[in-house]
Chain A
Amino acid sequence: MPDEARLAAADQPLVFRPKPERPPPTSSIGVLGWMRANLFSSVSNALLTLLGAYIAIVFFTAIINWALVDAVWEASNRRECLDRVGRAGACWPGVIAWIPNLLYGLYPKDQVWRINIAFLILVAWALPLWLPRVRSKVGIGLSAVLLYPFLASYFFHGGAKDLLWTALIALGMAAFAWVWLTTLSERTTGLPFGAVVARLTGAPEDDEAATRTRARIAYAVLYLVAVGVTTQWSLSEVSTRYWGGLFLTLVISGFGITFSLPAGVMLALGRRSQMPFISLCSTAFIELFRSVPLITILFMFNTMLPLFLPVGVEVNRLVRAIVAVCLFAAAYMAEIVRGGLQAIPRGQYEAASAVGLGFWQSTALVIMPQALRIMIPTIVGNFIGLFKDTTLVSIIGLFDLLSMARAVGEDTTWLGLFLEPFFFITMIYFVFCFLMSQYSLNLERKLGAGQRR
């Protein structure tokens, strides 16, 4: 390089000036670019894509033709459907006629509103958990798990109430009222319901003792009102023999899911415990229930248990099934939780001890929150499995969703109709399982937001 040029350049500082960006080649952007990169990147990929598309088109047109285009929507029996379209199209009137049974089983049709109301109450109970500016979410969640079942049981089963039962139902009602009173007061004033009552009745803002006393009085009044309402209110009895369909599936899996998580946590802690007796018992329980198929456990609980009971004592068939499902699910959950616990580094335990936390505090405040977050995908996977496993109760004579779908094809009016009901319940199972899995993904994103490395 000549010297003059170098000197001239030295006058000005050297600055890197990039050339203006050129647009990407048209073949790599847009739909076409995407397709080229992902579907037709090579000859073999292109062939596979075409084959896949062909199969998908054939498959879905066949399904759509069968389920929608050629389907019969109005007929009074299967013969009419067959005479019109043969077996080429679906015969939906049979499924439509059976929808009440598929959803509620043999539950008396004039009482079905009770199930709907109880379901709406559950939705309303859980709704505050997603609302912003609600602080008592732990209390609301716990009350939903612990107290909602009492209220729901009464809606579902009804019948005579003794003293204890009245007290429990009232507790459920009071809890539901509390959930919404707290939600409303926290959203408007930022204070829990008890504190708001205390303010309104004139307790000074800085007097904590007076606030607490008045809040307690408010809760007691709420409970007494609930007891009063409960004693005045009654529903006719609907024996569990009539429960069935989707309703029964949800009851069994609902109990299984809500019971298995806490029980699984306790069992997992028990198995890791230093205390030999507790550890032995937990291990024995887990191994026993995990090494036996669910169907055998159901069978044992259903047919063997009555043999060991005294004459005249009858344990409800549904209760037996629910207990069997709960114990089985708890054993599986315990091993999932134990796996999660093992992923927590030793340092976490030591750090928790170092700041003076005892066993329960360190478990509840340090270990479990971390472990449970890691376990979400597995736990929800297990819940989905449990939801589908409940179909096994059909073997012991409970008419869950699957057995009801089978019954459609045995109804004399709709004899032989079995693809349509199965198609219908496939959709139901898909919706529930998909929602569960989406919720878990959502939860993972939320809880893992600050932890991404």
Chain B
Amino acid sequence: MKKSLSLLGAAAVVVAMSGTEVVAQQTLAQVKQRGALNCQVGLPTPGFYALSADGKWSGLDVDMCRAVAAAIFNDPDKVRYQSVTSAVRFTSLANGESDMLSRTTTWTAVRDTQLGLEFAGVNFYDGQGFLVPRASGITSARQLDGATVCVLTGTTTELNLADYFRANNMRLQSVTNENVNVLVETYLGGGCDAYTNDKSGLAARRSAFPNPNDHVILPETISKEPLGPVVRHGDQNWGDIVRWVLYGMIEAEELGVTSKNVDEMLKSDNPNIKRLLGVEGNIGQGMGLTNDFMVRVIKHIGNYGEAYERHVGANTPVGIPRDESLNALWTKGGLMYAMPFR
């Protein structure tokens, strides 16, 4: 069913693309007129778009929505969250229901070139990994020949798994389900030898095991999953706004501008900081915002590092250490690199 839905979704996207050029040019005007940003997230997922018992959305990807809303309205709460299944995510963007989507979506060539989407950057570098019981003695993914692996169906995860096993000449038996919790339960019950998913999720899932230390995440990363916000094709200006809000947050971290010191930083002599905060130049106005849009983003959300540590950092339940990972700043050996603000 999932597959047929995806097909239907793809068909809908193709139909949509022929009709939405009209919608495209005016996203910012529409958002301003509506008074809220329609931001699409996925079904609740810890760390990225989590829904808590008191009904609030939070997470790294949710902060991306909030940052764009802060840039436009100076109010990060002016967001209408749309939480839909991955099968219909691109269609909901294409038909104009969502202004942007920010939901751990992998930037791939097919999506970028054939679905009428525009990726606005990368806010998290992920990759697929394996979780195995410590007692199994397995220390490398290469030892998984003939293993039964639990894998989420209907995502690229399943494809990556098959690719990896084929490339390494290993035999694979997979147990699939569309619900992560069912897979985890199967894995814990001994129904499969390993559980595979994006590494960002593995640590969090393990933390909810009865004995987390009985399970290890294997060192191999078998796929590249650059995740980031996505907008519709055809409205370049809107894409620019989302892109430069993201870059602005990374640049702010690089320059040491945080939500706490942003007011003092306004008086800084550093020309890079001056341009980032709109004291000099008119980058914001060029996009239809005000020049100090990044001041608002940083005040309400903080820089990229603050958002990261708040939602997925080592001190959160999700617990993904940032140091020396791909998500560290480029100055610290990672891949987070903002194009210069000038």
Closest to B188 in A: A87
Give the interface centre of A100, A302, A397, A407 by most chain B CB atoms within 10 Å.
Answer: A397
Tell me the smallest distance from the CB of B152 to a CB of chain A, in Å.
13
Q: Contact check, B45 vs A410: say whether CB atoms are below 8 A apart.
A: yes
Q: How distant is the Cα of A85 from the Cα of B81 in the complex, in angstroms? A: 37
Q: Give the contacting residue for A411; candidates B5, B44, B92, B207; CB below 8 A.
A: B44
Contact with B along A406-417 (1 / 0, CB 8 A): 110111111111
Please give me the 4 A-B residue pairs with the lowest Cβ-Cβ distance, nearest first.
A397-B84, A418-B181, A416-B208, A410-B44
Q: How distant is the Cα of A314 from the Cα of B96 in the complex, in angstroms? A: 9
Tell which of B8-16, B62-70, B110-118, B255-263 binds the partner.
B8-16
A395 adjacent to chain B (CB < 8 Å)? yes
Contact with B along A399-425 (1 / 0, CB 8 A): 100010011011111111111000000
Tell which of A4-12, A267-275, A305-313, A325-333 binds the partner.
A305-313
Tell me the smallest distance from the CB of A181 to a CB of chain B, in Å.
40
Q: How distant is the Cα of A412 from the Cα of B47 in the complex, in angstroms? A: 8
Q: Contact check, B44 vs A304: say whether CB atoms are below 8 A apart.
A: no
Q: Chain B residues near A406 (CB, 8 Å)?
A: 43-44, 179, 181
Tell which of B51-59, B161-169, B218-226 binds the partner.
B51-59
Closest to A85 in B: B210
B97 adjacent to chain A (CB < 8 Å)? yes
Tell me the smallest distance from the CB of A450 to a CB of chain B, in Å.
47
Q: How distant is the Cα of A314 from the Cα of B36 in the complex, in angstroms? A: 14
Q: Contact check, A241 vs B80: say whether CB atoms are below 8 A apart.
A: yes
A-B contact pairs, 20 of them (CB 8 A): A79-B208, A82-B210, A87-B210, A101-B55, A109-B54, A241-B80, A302-B88, A303-B88, A303-B95, A307-B16, A311-B23, A314-B97, A403-B43, A406-B179, A409-B181, A410-B181, A411-B51, A412-B47, A413-B52, A415-B205
Q: Contact check, B1 vs A307: say whether CB atoms are below 8 A apart.
A: no
Q: Contact check, B88 vs A416: say whether CB atoms are below 8 A apart.
A: no
A177 adjacent to chain B (CB < 8 Å)? no
Q: A79-B208, A396-B84, A397-B92 are in contact. Are A416 and B52 (CB under 8 A)?
A: no
Contact with A along B69-106 (1 / 0, CB 8 A): 00000000000111111011001100111000000000
B230 adjacent to chain A (CB < 8 Å)? no
Q: Chain B residues near A285 (CB, 8 Å)?
A: none
Q: Contact check, A415 vs B210: say whether CB atoms are below 8 A apart.
A: no
Q: Give the contacting residue for A395; candidates B23, B44, B46, B87; CB below 8 A.
A: B87
Q: Contact check, B181 vs A416: say whether CB atoms are below 8 A apart.
A: yes
Q: Contact check, B8 vs A296: say whether CB atoms are below 8 A apart.
A: yes
Q: A307-B16, A418-B182 are in contact. Are A410 and B210 (CB under 8 A)?
A: no
Q: How distant is the Cα of A257 from the Cα of B55 in the complex, in angstroms? A: 29
Tell me the smallest distance from the CB of B189 to a CB of chain A, in Å.
9
A106 adjacent to chain B (CB < 8 Å)? yes
B318 adjacent to chain A (CB < 8 Å)? yes
Q: How distant is the Cα of A394 from the Cα of B318 in the complex, in angstroms? A: 26
Q: Chain B residues near A419 (CB, 8 Å)?
A: 185
